[in-house]
Amino acid sequence: MTNKRVQLVTEPEKINHTLGLLKADSQIDIEFAFFSNERIKGRVVGAQAGKYFLLALPKTVFRTQENMLVEGQTVVVRSIIEGNTGACIAFKVRIQSVSRAPYYLLFIDFPKN
Helix (H, G, I), strand (E, B), or coil: what is residue 14? helix
Q: Is 2 within a domain?
A: no
Distance from C-alpha of 113 to C-alpha of 48, rounded to nearest angstrom:
16
The H or E element spanning position 16 is: helix 12-20
Domain range spanning residue 92? 12-109
Q: What is the pLDDT of residues 18-43, one digit of tens each?
A: 777 788 898 999 998 776 677 889 99
Answer yes or no: are the C-beta atoms of 55 and 69 closer than 8 Å.
Answer: no
Give me the CATH number covering residue 19: 2.30.110.10
**Overall domain count for the chain:** 1
pTM, whole model, 2 decimals?
A: 0.81
Report percent pLDDT > 70 for the chain. Answer: 83
Instruction: Work out the end-to-end distance of the chain between its first and last CA atoms, rounded to an integer number of angstroms.
Output: 32
Report which DSSP code applies to 9: -
Q: Is 5 within a domain?
A: no
